[in-house]
Every structure is written in structure tokens, then in C-alpha cells.
């Protein structure tokens, strides 16, 4: 295999590169969203309007329902729209075209259409933006058959998976974690794609499996480092996509370690962690030496105040504490 | 565009001037506090748009309701919201109006008829219809006013709420502050009409565009719209042409990114405080009297907010269910 050259870029630059490259590659790809045409608004979309013009990098009014529905239509009619939701909280106004239309149309119309639509949904807290500007809502959407849900946690994955999402012939909810936007990491040069539906082992270990979703994959890596200081060899696995979920990839790690913590930034009840815990125990019950433990946001809205927000949201420390309790 | 007719009493004009100055100084203080790292979360100031808040609320009774947006300090103050508790909320103190859980974007003082700033664009309008419905069901002649931006007028929530209010004749005034931009997107680009007020025609309701830098014009238009609602005749749409002198939120420069310096300076020349000072032919002594009173109030708010305690951890787990 030829050697892959790596360079270090940020999560937001990786998104930006993926968008540039896919728009360059396929003229059917176009971008819509509030303020996307202005470079200075977000590092993820900077430069696109200047490069591709405002036909293809299109500002929308504050009409989430309208422009999402329009994107579904354009996708059926042969285009590959990419939407920028700014925050997943605002996407709540557009659940109908996503869940009732995009996800079901192919099925309802007996396979006559496909809906190659990507909805970029930045989300998450740790920024004192309060209850309606901090949510992590990917769990809601794994309840919707026909919709892919992708949750990348580092620059290489966000680039590779966004490129795959844009090439995918089905609607994709592409979650981005705002708290990771400035995270730097190695990304291969050139046309780097990652497969949809494959978990990745982010750090190997033998004593316990830490499964982290999105921002919490990063926290799990930090937790693994802290645990290493106490002689615990933790393995960190990132599902990377949650529909489809690579149950076998996750179960393989749990079969090895026998213990598992699942961490996510969304609320605990009915969360992605609950789904993963259930699926992994179905696949690897015999190997488990203890119940799978979930670390998640409390079932409480995310408050503005820094100290209160920290109580509600998960953290590296909470993951370490959960792991130590399991190992004790 | 409707201008004021100058039939207003000097007393009323001075009161509205005072309200505008209180808003201006509160928001300048909030901005200073933000720069000093003392504000928790974001702030969106309405500096330049004060005539809208002051003019509308001067036409309201204490038992009327307002609902506002992410840019809601001005409406809050004009409706009687307590300044110390409001500043405390911005500074993350437990004495804040929302106990430090809502922040600047969710300021509410329900005891004063202020049903909240709402940070999801458009969300406040259907709720205003519902408050109007409650007033109608109770047989009271109370009115709800909902403030929103040019950007929000392109959201389905606006159109659905207008239609509901029109078919049920609900006592609601839709007050659109057209400050020409939704973050960076010009209303000229995003909006199908030059004057947003013409959208009322689709709902067979009165619509009027006023000079939003002229507090008297805003007051006169609002008085009429409020009276219409109080008489049980249904909603009106008032559009005020105005401008925010600051960026959308912190970190967004006053001009240079999507607004030109010339445009900005043109609007600055129409500063609603200066317009009002001229209309009243205010003397230096008049101005000082207003300024002194407002400074005292601001000082008191700062003292209250700074000396207030941070929330206990348990506050995070309270107020979820009634
Ligand atoms: C439903 C929704 N979409 C997007 C946003 C992000 N956002 C916050 S303020 C704003 C612009 C609002 O413009 P306008 O209604 O004109 O009010 P202004 O900020 O000018 O006062 C946007 C897009 C949001 N808060 N809610
Ligand atoms: Mg605006």
C-alpha cells in the first residue's frame, strides 16, 4: 500500500475540506442554510460561497421547515443538497420533512425515488447557551427507519464520513459536535473517505471498554489516559455511525474486556447509550462480568450557568468515576 | 411610512425618552460586563432599536402581555421588568429572573406581564396567539404584543399565528422590528416584500409601517393597534423600520462584514434618543436630570447583581416539573 501522508487540521477545517472536495467532484451537490454564504460566519463553510457562487452556496430565510422540505424535493429530483442547520435545536422545526418525508419516501413509493440528502446538524453544550441551544438529539432519530445517523468524533472521521454521506443515496443526519470544532488531529491527505456503519477502536486496551458517542468519544480517550495513570488499561471504541450501528464491532471489544461504560452527551433516558447497552448485551451477554453502565446528560434541560451546566452534562471525570466503580 | 403627528403630551414623550435611556444604559452596561467576562452565556443587544420597545409598551396597560426574542432586553425593560434581577440573570446569579438557568435569551418577568424572551426564532408568535386566546376566553379586554424580527417574519410560525389570530379575532399585536438583517442575511434578499406590514393583507388584518427611530410614531401606531385588539377586532401587524447599531451578537463587528460603514453611519444619524431630544428641544439640564436618574438605577442594579450569590448545585435539578 502506498504510504498515506498525514497532516494535522481541526475538526471544522476537516468539514470545510470535505464540502469543498465534494462540491468540486459533483456539480449536483449544493449547500443551503442560514448565513452559509458569508465566509466569516462559520469556519466549516468559509470560502465555499466565493469558490462555488451563491447558486450552489445558498442563503435561506429563517424557514427551516420550508428549506428542508425543498431539499427533500431537490434530492428526489436528482440533486444532492447538503443542509447546514447551524444547531440541531433549530432543526426541530423541520422534523416533518426529515422523519415523515425524507426517511420514508423511498419505501412508501415502492422504491421509485431516492433521497440523497445530508443534513449537517451541529449540536451540543459546554458553552453556556442554555436549554434551547445546547441539546444533543441524535437519539430521537435512531427511531426513524430510513435515516442514516452519523456521529463523528475527530477530524479524520468527520472528513471521511461527511464525504461518504454526500455520496450516499439515502438521507443522512450528520451530527457535528460544536465542542469539537477546534479539536486538532491527523487527517490523511487526498480523497479520504470512511465507511458508514463501521465502529473504530480509538485506543486498544484489555481491562474495560469505554464506548463514546461524538463529544464523549473524546472524553473517553481522556478518561482512558487518566485511568492508565492508575494502572487501568481501557479500550476506547467509537461507533461513529448509530444508524446503522456496528453492534459486532462494539461487542467484539466487550467480549475481550467483559466490562463496559457507554458515554453520550444526550440525555440518559431513551438515549443512544440505552440502545447500545441493549444491543451489546444481546450480542455479548455471556462475556459481561458486570452490567453495562451509562454516562449521559441528566434528564434535565441544559442550564446556562457554567456550574449548573457541568452538573447536568457528562464529563471525563464522570466517565472515570463510572469506570472505577465498575472495576472496584 | 408613518411619521409621528406631534399630538403627544410632553410628559408622555419624556417618559418614553426615559425608557429609551434606561434601555440604552442597561445594554451598554451588559456589554461592558460581557467584555469584563462577567456575563454567563451570550447577549444580543438592541441598541439603536429602543424607540420600538418604548413606543409600544407606552401604549400598553400593566395587565397586558408581551413576548419577545433573543434581542429582548429593551422590551423587557419597557414592560416594567426589574433591572437588578435582570442584570443578575445575565451575570449568572441565583437572584436572577430565571435563577441563572435561562440567561439573556430567556428573560421573563411574568409578574409584570412579560411572558419571556424566546430564543427559537418564531416560537413566541403562536404562544402570543394562545395568550390572546386565554384573554378572549376569560372575557377580559387584555392584549398580548409579540415582538419579532424581519427574519422571523419568514418563518411559518408567523404566518400560522397571524391566521389563527385573524380567524378567531384574538387580541394580539404583531410588532415586527425590521432592523434589515437576520444575522448576516439582508431582509431585502430573504423577504418577498419591501414592507413586511403588507403581509397582514393575507390575513385581512390592518398593517402599517412606521419609522422605528421615532418613538412618537411607534407609540401612535401601537396605540391604534392595541385599541383595535382591545375592541375585539383581532390582530394587527405593525412594522418598524429600524437598525441595530451593534453586531448580531458579541464578536460580530458593527459594520464591515455584511453592512457598510456608510449604511451604519446613516442610521446612526437617526439615533432614536437624539431624534427624541430634538423633538422635545431638550436642554442640557433636562438631559442631565434623565441621565442622573438612570445612572442611579443602573448603579443599584450592578450592586445588586454583583453582591448576589451564585446558585447552589441543587438549583440545576429544580423547576423541571410543576
Ligand atoms: C428557529 C431558529 N432558527 C435559527 C436561529 C438562529 N438565529 C438566532 S437569531 C437569528 C436571526 C434573527 O433575525 P431577526 O428575526 O431579524 O431578529 P434580529 O436578530 O435582527 O433581532 C437566527 C437565524 C434560531 N434561534 N431559531
Ligand atoms: Mg432582523
For residue A297, the model assigns a pLDDT of 98
Q: Which of A17, A21, A123, A133 is catalytic?
A: A133
In a domain? residue B226: yes
Residues of chain B found within 8 Å of residue A304, distances taken between Cβ atoms: 40-41, 92, 100-103
B250 pLDDT higher than 90:
no
Residues of chain A found within 8 Å of residue B190, distances taken between Cβ atoms: 59-62
In a domain? residue B34: yes
A54 catalytically annotated: no
For residue A1, the model assigns a pLDDT of 58
In a domain? residue B233: yes
| Tens-digit pLDDT profile for residues B185-235 | 999 999 999 999 999 999 999 999 999 999 999 999 999 999 999 999 999
- Regarding pTM above 0.80, the answer is yes
Q: Is the CB of B249 under 6 A from ligand 1?
A: no
Please provide the CATH number assigned to the domain covering A200-327.
3.40.50.920
Closest CB to A308: pick one of B101, B105, B156.
B101
* Proximal ligand: closest to the CA of A91: 1
Within chain A, all domains assigned CATH 3.40.50.920 are found at 200-327
Q: How many pairs of residues across A and B have Cβ atoms under 8 Å apart?
A: 110
* Proximal ligand: closest to the CA of B246: 1
For residue B6, the model assigns a pLDDT of 67
Within chain A, all domains assigned CATH 3.40.50.970 are found at 6-188
Across the interface, do A131 and B191 touch by the CB < 8 Å criterion?
Answer: no
The whole-chain average pLDDT of chain B stands at 97
In a domain? residue B203: yes
B151 pLDDT higher than 90:
yes
From B74, B124, B151, B239, the mutation candidate for ligand 1 (largest count of ligand atoms within 8 A of CB) is B151
For residue B36, the model assigns a pLDDT of 95
Residues of the domain holding B103:
10-308
Residue nearest atom 25 of ligand 1, based on CA coordinates: B120
Q: Is the CB of B117 under 6 A from ligand 1?
A: no
Q: Looking at chain A, which residue has its C-alpha nearest residue B92?
A: A305
Measured in angstroms, the CA of B290 and the nearest CA of chain A are apart by 34
Q: Does A133 touch chain B (CB under 8 A)?
A: yes
Q: Hey, of A33, A304, A309, A312, which one would you mutate to test binding to chain B, going by the most B CBs within 10 A of its CB? A: A304
Q: Which of A17, A21, A64, A123 is catalytic?
A: A64
For residue A3, the model assigns a pLDDT of 79
In a domain? residue B50: yes
Question: pLDDT band at B3, cuts 50/70/90?
Answer: confident
Number of domains chain B contains: 1
CATH at B196: 3.40.50.970
Please provide the CATH number assigned to the domain covering A6-188.
3.40.50.970
Q: In this structure, what DSSP letter does residue B111 have?
A: G
> Residues of chain B with pLDDT > 70: what percent?
99
Per-residue pLDDT of chain A (328 residues; tens, 9 = 90+): 567 899 999 999 999 999 999 999 999 999 999 999 988 888 999 999 999 999 999 999 999 999 999 999 999 999 999 999 999 999 999 999 999 999 999 999 999 999 999 999 999 999 999 999 999 999 999 999 999 999 999 999 999 999 999 999 999 999 999 999 999 999 999 999 999 999 999 999 999 999 999 999 999 999 999 999 999 999 999 999 999 999 999 999 999 999 999 999 999 999 999 999 999 999 999 999 999 999 999 999 999 999 999 999 999 999 999 999 999 9
Amino acid at each position: 500500500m502506498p504510504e498515506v501522508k498525514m497532516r494535522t487540521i481541526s475538526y471544522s477545517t476537516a468539514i470545510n475540506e470535505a464540502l469543498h472536495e465534494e462540491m468540486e467532484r459533483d456539480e449536483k451537490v449544493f449547500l443551503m442554510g442560514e448565513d452559509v454564504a458569508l465566509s466569516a460566519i462559520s469556519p466549516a463553510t468559509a470560502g465555499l460561497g466565493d469558490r462555488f457562487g451563491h447558486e450552489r452556496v445558498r442563503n435561506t430565510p429563517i424557514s427551516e421547515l420550508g428549506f428542508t422540505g425543498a431539499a427533500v424535493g431537490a434530492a428526489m429530483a436528482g440533486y444532492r443538497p447538503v443542509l447546514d442547520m447551524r444547531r440541531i435545536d433549530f432543526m426541530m422545526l423541520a422534523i416533518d420533512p426529515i422523519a415523515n418525508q425524507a426517511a420514508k419516501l423511498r419505501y412508501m413509493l415502492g422504491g421509485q425515488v431516492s433521497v440523497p440528502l445530508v443534513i449537517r446538524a451541529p449540536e451540543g453544550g459546554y458553552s453556556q447557551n442554555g436549554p434551547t441551544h445546547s441539546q444533543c438529539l441524535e437519539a430521537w432519530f435512531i427511531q426513524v427507519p430510513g435515516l442514516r445517523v452519523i456521529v463523528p468524533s475527530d477530524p479524520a472521521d468527520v472528513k471521511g464520513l461527511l464525504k461518504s454521506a454526500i455520496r450516499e443515496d439515502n438521507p443522512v443526519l450528520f451530527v457535528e459536535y460544536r465542542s469539537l470544532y477546534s479539536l486538532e488531529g491527523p487527517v490523511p491527505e487526498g480523497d479520504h473517505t470512511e465507511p458508514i456503519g463501521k465502529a473504530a477502536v480509538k485506543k486498544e486496551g484489555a481491562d474495560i471498554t469505554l464506548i463514546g458517542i461524538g463529544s464523549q468519544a473524546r472524553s473517553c480517550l481522556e478518561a482512558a489516559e487518566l485511568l492508565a495513570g492508575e494502572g487501568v488499561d481501557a479500550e476506547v471504541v467509537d461507533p461513529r455511525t448509530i444508524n446503522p450501528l456496528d453492534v459486532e464491532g462494539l461487542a467484539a471489544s466487550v467480549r475481550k474486556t467483559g466490562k463496559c461504560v457507554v458515554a453520550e452527551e444526550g440525555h440518559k433516558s431513551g438515549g443512544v447509550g440505552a440502545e447500545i447497552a441493549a444491543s451489546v448485551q444481546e450480542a455479548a451477554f455471556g462475556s459481561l462480568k458486570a452490567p453495562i453502565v451509562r454516562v449521559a446528560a441528566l434528564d434535565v434541560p441544559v442550564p446556562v450557568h457554567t456550574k449548573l451546566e457541568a452538573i447536568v452534562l457528562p464529563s471525563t471525570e464522570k466517565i472515570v468515576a463510572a469506570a472505577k466503580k465498575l472495576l472496584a | 411610512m408613518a411619521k409621528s403627528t406631534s399630538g403627544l403630551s410632553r410628559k408622555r414623550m419624556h417618559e418614553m425618552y426615559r425608557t429609551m435611556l434606561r434601555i440604552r444604559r442597561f445594554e451598554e452596561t451588559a456589554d461592558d460586563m460581557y467584555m469584563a467576562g462577567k456575563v454567563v452565556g451570550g447577549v444580543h443587544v438592541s441598541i439603536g432599536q429602543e424607540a420600538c420597545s418604548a413606543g409600544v409598551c407606552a401604549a400598553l396597560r400593566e395587565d397586558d402581555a408581551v413576548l419577545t426574542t433573543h434581542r429582548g432586553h429593551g422590551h423587557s425593560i419597557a414592560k416594567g421588568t426589574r433591572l437588578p434581577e435582570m442584570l443578575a440573570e445575565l451575570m449568572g446569579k441565583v437572584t436572577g429572573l430565571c435563577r441563572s438557568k435561562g440567561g439573556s435569551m430567556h428573560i421573563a418577568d411574568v409578574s409584570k406581564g412579560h411572558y419571556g424572551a424566546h430564543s427559537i426564532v418564531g416560537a413566541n408568535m403562536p404562544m402570543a396567539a394562545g395568550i390572546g386566546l386565554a384573554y378572549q376566553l376569560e372575557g377580559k379586554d387584555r392584549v398580548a404584543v409579540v415582538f419579532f424580527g424581519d427574519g422571523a417574519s419568514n418563518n411559518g410560525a408567523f404566518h400560522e399565528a397571524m391566521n389563527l389570530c385573524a380567524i378567531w379575532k384574538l387580541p394580539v399585536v404583531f410588532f415586527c422590528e425590521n432592523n434589515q438583517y437576520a444575522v448576516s442575511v439582508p431582509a431585502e434578499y430573504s423577504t418577498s416584500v419591501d414592507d413586511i406590514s403588507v403581509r397582514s393583507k393575507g390575513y385581512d388584518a390592518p398593517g402599517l409601517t412606521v419609522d422605528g427611530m421615532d418613538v412618537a410614531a411607534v407609540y401612535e401606531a401601537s396605540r391604534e393597534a392595541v385599541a383595535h385588539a382591545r375592541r375585539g377586532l383581532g390582530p394587527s401587524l405593525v412594522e418598524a423600520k429600524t437598525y441595530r447599531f451593534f453586531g448580531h451578537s458579541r464578536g460580530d463587528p458593527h459594520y464591515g462584514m455584511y453592512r457598510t460603514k456608510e449604511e451604519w453611519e446613516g442610521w446612526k444619524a437617526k439615533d432614536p434618543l437624539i431624534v427624541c431630544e430634538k423633538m422635545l428641544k431638550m436642554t442640557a439640564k433636562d438631559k442631565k436630570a434623565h441621565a442622573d436618574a438612570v445612572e442611579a438605577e443602573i448603579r443599584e442594579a450592578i450592586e445588586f447583581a454583583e453582591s448576589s450569590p451564585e446558585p447552589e448545585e441543587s438549583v440545576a435539578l429544580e423547576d423541571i416539573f410543576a
